[in-house]
């Protein structure tokens, strides 16, 4: 945290979303003034309701693909606005492309004008269905630009290119975080991702749906670890992309079984066809984050899943 006399001002676009809201919490705790901007198409006011009324926090409902202006000085902009789960970007393909392109352009323009640092929330999806395992930042990816997932993958790849162009051409102080699968409180139950889906099915005693044969893998990172990595990156001087995720890789079938056990559920597992272009493997190489940021995830999967399940259980009204 800066030890200057005045408080630093940060903007979080997409600040009412799952990750954005946890980032707002962290920034407020670190002593920042936080301006949260969200159009609420996938974000939710309930994620930041506890911050409303805090003098360090302001909420603006706004679509960042439009002209972006904020009064007063701004020190750092975190660009987290984007639909981020397959169910969202398949339903909102054009908004997803627009926020990755126009939204990134507007946010970078504001950073340039305010001489603010800019941190882009990019994604492991820039690697597509990877032919390199684990994925390091040097890998250029294997993305199908015309497939259904291309709207998200290419929006984020474009956002990275735009961020580097503003850095090289305009001298904007930029950071790029490539975020791998993250889970935790405030995920939406129906966002189509594996952990919320498995948990809601297991908690309700329904059959748990696994796509394909369940051998495809993900590496899942608990939200507090991810936010720690984001914060460290924002305070560092490292400009190239940085993978942030937990290298602890698990197959979808094993994850489903783990969650059923954790829920003490009698749910059985059913298999359905794998979605188009669904990546078969996903594991971050976090060597750069370790060496540059001194960052490594610390919350074990079992503990993170337990906390997340408590949250979903309460949401479903099942908490005893």
Please, is 97 exposed, middle or buried when counting C-beta atoms within 10 Å of its C-beta (0-12, 13-18, 19+)?
buried
What is the 8-class DSSP label of residue 209? E
Q: Across the strands, what pairs with 210?
A: 271
Q: Which of 89, 127, 152, 183 is catalytic?
A: 152
* SS3 label, residue 217: strand
Measuring CA to CA, how many Å separate 92 from each of 99, 102, 269, 320? 11, 15, 30, 37
Under 8 Å between Cβ of 27 and 50: no
Distance CA 123, CA 110 (A): 22
Distance CA 42, CA 21 (A): 12
- Taking the CA atoms of residue 93, residue 97, residue 103 and residue 105 in that order, the dihedral angle to the nearest 10 degrees is -170
3-state SS of 106-174 is: HHHHHHHHHCCEEEEEEEHHHHECCCCCCECCCCCCECCCCCCCHHHHHHHHHHHHHHHHHHHHHCCCE
Measuring CA to CA, how many Å separate 71 from each of 5, 15, 68, 107? 20, 18, 10, 14
Pick from 76, 179, 106, 78: nearest CA to 137:
179
Q: Which residue has the tokens 């903007």?
A: 11
Measuring CA to CA, how many Å separate 85 from each of 43, 89, 182, 253? 12, 6, 11, 20
Q: Determine whether 67 is an active site residue.
A: no
Q: Which residues are catalytic?
A: 152
């Amino acid at each position: 945290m800066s030890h200057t006399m005045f408080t630093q001002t940060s903007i979080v676009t997409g600040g009412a979303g799952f990750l954005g809201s946890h980032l707002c919490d962290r920034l407020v705790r670190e002593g920042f003034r936080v301006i949260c901007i969200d159009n609420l198409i996938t974000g939710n006011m309930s994620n930041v309701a506890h911050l409303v009324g805090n003098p360090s926090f302001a909420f603006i409902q706004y679509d960042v693909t439009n002209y972006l202006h904020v009064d007063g000085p701004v020190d750092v902009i975190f660009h987290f606005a984007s639909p981020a789960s397959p169910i969202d970007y398949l339903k909102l393909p054009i908004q997803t492309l627009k926020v990755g392109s126009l939204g990134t352009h507007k946010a970078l323009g504001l950073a340039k004008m305010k001489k603010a640092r800019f941190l882009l929330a990019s994604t492991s999806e820039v690697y597509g269905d990877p032919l390199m395992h684990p994925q390091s930042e040097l890998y250029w990816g294997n993305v199908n630009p015309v497939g259904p997932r291309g709207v998200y993958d290419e929006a984020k790849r474009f956002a990275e290119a735009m961020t580097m162009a503003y850095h090289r051409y305009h001298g904007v102080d930029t950071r790029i975080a490539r975020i791998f699968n993250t889970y935790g409180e405030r995920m939406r139950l129906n966002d189509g991702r594996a952990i919320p889906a498995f948990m809601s099915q297991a908690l309700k005693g329904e059959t748990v749906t696994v796509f394909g044969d369940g051998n495809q893998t993900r590496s899942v990172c608990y939200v507090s670890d991810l936010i720690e990595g984001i914060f460290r990156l924002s305070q560092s001087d490292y400009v190239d992309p940085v993978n942030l995720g937990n290298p602890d890789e698990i197959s979808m079938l094993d994850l489903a079984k783990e969650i059923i056990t954790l829920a003490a559920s009698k749910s059985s597992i059913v298999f359905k066809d794998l979605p188009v272009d669904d990546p078969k493997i996903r594991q971050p190489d976090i060597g750069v984050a370790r060496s540059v940021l001194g960052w490594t995830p610390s919350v074990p999967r079992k503990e993170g899943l337990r906390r997340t399940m408590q949250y979903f259980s309460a949401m479903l009204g099942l908490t005893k």
